[in-house]
């Protein structure tokens, strides 16, 4: 392995002092433009790389933010990261991004990696099965800003960026009821996660407010994948009485379930009205288009990054206040029973 080129090598090559090379590479005003250009050209030719890590150790700041998300192959998370990157880059920060693959064990490994790489702050959306945040304790002890978004920690001392999942689920359930649905089925994720617990509670409250009983057998908890959606379709077909409305806590599972039912001759929405959540692209390319809840991942990313950077750059104290962003119910053909009568 070849040795790293140093400023002393450049200085020797040009027969100048190492101090002049160092100042030139830092664009010091005392060095003439002609000398800077000559040094930069030589540094490039020799393959010199700035030792950012060592410099950051001296400054006690790396200008990097860590981001841990459940999965990167998600339209919503891609939008969130784009929003974070825009704000971070404008403020002079870079992002280090990792995914937990919905496993707390990998989330903990990622958190340790971020800590050892000395990120200035950390943004986290929790994994599906995370039941403890002990692996974030080193950040808390070192007063490194930590902010949760979308899937947040249920401990009140930590801030979070969310939408009102309870209200959104209430609205989408009320919409199904307004379409004449009385026998409603809910497919959701791990209820220990705030997003799924809040959506279930909103669903259940809308039923109660409309004097509709909800049987536990009409609640199904899975990982909300397309595969689980297809499997759920077969489960529904085995029931003595089909539900007349289905609310799924994400669009991927909803579309897969809906398409499988249509393959078996079930009419959507005439036999079963369908709704999802997230407004992923799949929701508007499928036929019939899927009724869903829209909220802007890009805005959530911007808000999360800006909140963290404000704490870093302006000394804003950590707040345990949760920021709630807006959402919108989008009604499409998959749930509009009245439109087909």
The pLDDT assigned to 317 comes to 60
Q: Report d(CA 242, CA 288) in Å as an integer.
A: 19
pLDDT in tens, 228-242: 999 999 999 998 889
Work out the burial of residue 106: count CB atoms within 10 Å of its CB; fewer than 13 is exposed, 13-18 middle, 19 or more buried: middle
Q: What is the DSSP string of 13-54?
A: HHTS-HHHHHHHHTT-TTS-HHHHHHHHHHHHHHT----HHH
- The pLDDT of residue 341: 41
Q: What pLDDT was estimated at residue 24?
A: 86
Among the residue ranges 22-26, 203-207, 220-224, the one predicted with the least confidence is 22-26
Cβ neighbours, 10 Å, residue 150: 26
Residue 156 has pLDDT above 90, yes or no: no
For residues 222 and 251, the answer to whether their CB atoms sit within 8 Å is no
Whole-angstrom distance, CA of residue 159 vs CA of residue 123 = 11
Topology classification of domain 7-50: 434 Repressor (Amino-terminal Domain) (1.10.260)
Q: Give the integer Cα–Cα distance in Å for 50 and 39.
A: 13
pLDDT at position 78? 94
Report the range of poorest mean pLDDT among 95-109, 170-184, 213-227, 268-282.
213-227
When pLDDT is averaged across residues 129-149 and rounded to a whole number, the result is 92
Q: Tell me what the mean pLDDT of segment 21-39 comes to.
A: 87
**Spatial contact of 273 and 207, defined as CB atoms under 8 Å apart:** no
Q: What is residue 340's predicted lDDT score, i.e. its pLDDT?
A: 46
User: Binning pLDDT at 50, 70 and 90, where does residue 25 land?
Assistant: confident
Average pLDDT of 42-64? Answer: 71
- Residues in a beta bridge with 245: 184, 273
What are 55-84's pLDDT values in tens digits? 555 556 788 999 999 999 889 999 999 999
The answer to whether 110 and 80 have CB atoms below 8 angstroms apart is no
Q: What pLDDT score was predicted for residue 26?
A: 79
Q: What is the C-alpha to C-alpha distance for residues 7 and 261, in angstroms, rounded to an integer? A: 68
Q: Is the pLDDT of residue 27 over 90?
A: no
Cα(200)–Cα(211) distance, integer angstroms = 17
Q: Measured between alpha carbons, how far is 126 from 68 in angstroms, rounded to an integer? A: 8
Average pLDDT over residues 149-165: 88
Q: How far apart are CA 295 and CA 275, in angstroms?
A: 15
Please state the pTM of the whole predicted model: 0.82
Mean per-residue pLDDT, 263-273: 96
Residue 217: predicted pLDDT: 87
Res. 308: pLDDT tops 60: yes
- The full DSSP string for 109-148 is HHHHHHHHTT-SEEEE---TT----GGGHHHHHTT--EEE
Residue 186 phi, psi (nearest 5)? -120, 125
Same fold, 7-50 and 62-162+297-325: no
Q: What is the mean pLDDT of residues 268-281?
A: 96
Q: CA 239, CA 199: separation in Å to the nearest integer? A: 24
The CATH number of 62-162+297-325 is 3.40.50.2300
Q: How confident is the model at residue 51 (pLDDT cuts 50, 70, 90)?
A: low
* Architecture in CATH for domain 165-295+329-340: 3-Layer(aba) Sandwich (3.40)
Which ranges of the chain does DSSP label H, i.e. alpha helix?
7-14, 18-25, 33-46, 52-59, 75-90, 104-116, 137-141, 165-178, 194-209, 226-237, 251-263, 282-285, 297-313
- Alpha-carbon distance 52 to 58, whole Å? 10
pLDDT band per the 50, 70, 90 thresholds, residue 21:
confident
Q: State the pairing for strand pair 245-248/273-275.
A: parallel
Average pLDDT of the residues of the chain = 90
Instruction: Give the mean pLDDT of 284-288.
Output: 96
Q: Given this model, what pLDDT does residue 157 score?
A: 73
Which one, of 121, 117, 118, 125, lies nearest residue 99 by Cα? 125
Domain boundaries, the chain: 7-50, 62-162+297-325, 165-295+329-340
Quick one: average pLDDT of 99-108?
Answer: 95
């Amino acid at each position: 392995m070849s040795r790293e080129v140093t400023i002393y090598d450049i200085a020797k090559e040009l027969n100048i002092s190492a101090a002049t090379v160092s100042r030139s590479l830092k664009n010091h005003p005392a060095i003439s433009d002609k000398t800077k250009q000559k040094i930069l050209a030589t540094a490039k030719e020799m393959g010199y790389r700035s030792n950012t890590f060592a410099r950051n150790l001296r400054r006690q700041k790396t200008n990097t933010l860590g981001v841990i998300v459940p999965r990167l192959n998600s339209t919503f998370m891609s939008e969130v990261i784009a929003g974070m990157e825009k704000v971070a880059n404008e403020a002079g920060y870079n992002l280090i991004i990792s995914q937990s693959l919905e496993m707390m064990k990998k989330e903990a490994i990622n958190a340790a990696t971020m800590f050892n790489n000395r990120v200035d702050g950390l943004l986290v959306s929790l994994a599906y099965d995370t039941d403890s945040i002990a692996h974030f304790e080193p950040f808390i002890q070192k007063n490194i800003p930590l902010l949760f978004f979308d899937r947040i920690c249920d401990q009140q001392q930590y801030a979070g960026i969310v939408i009102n999942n309870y209200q959104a689920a209430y609205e989408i359930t009320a919409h199904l009821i307004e379409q004449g649905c009385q026998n409603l089925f809910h497919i959701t994720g791990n209820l220990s996660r705030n997003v799924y617990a809040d959506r279930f509670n909103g669903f259940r409250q809308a039923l109660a407010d409309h004097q509709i009983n909800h049987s536990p057998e009409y609640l199904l908890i899975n990982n909300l994948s397309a595969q689980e959606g297809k499997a759920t379709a077969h489960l529904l077909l085995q029931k003595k009485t089909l539900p007349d409305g289905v609310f799924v806590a994400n669009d991927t599972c909803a579309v897969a379930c809906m398409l499988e039912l249509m393959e078996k001759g079930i009419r959507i929405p005439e036999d079963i009205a369908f709704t999802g959540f997230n407004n992923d692209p799949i929701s508007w390319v499928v036929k019939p288009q899927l009724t869903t809840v829209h909220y802007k991942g890009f805005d959530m990313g911007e808000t999360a990054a800006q909140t963290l950077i404000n704490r870093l750059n302006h000394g804003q104290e950590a707040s345990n206040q949760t920021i709630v962003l807006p959402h919108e119910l989008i009604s499409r053909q998959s749930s509009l029973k009245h439109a087909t009568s």
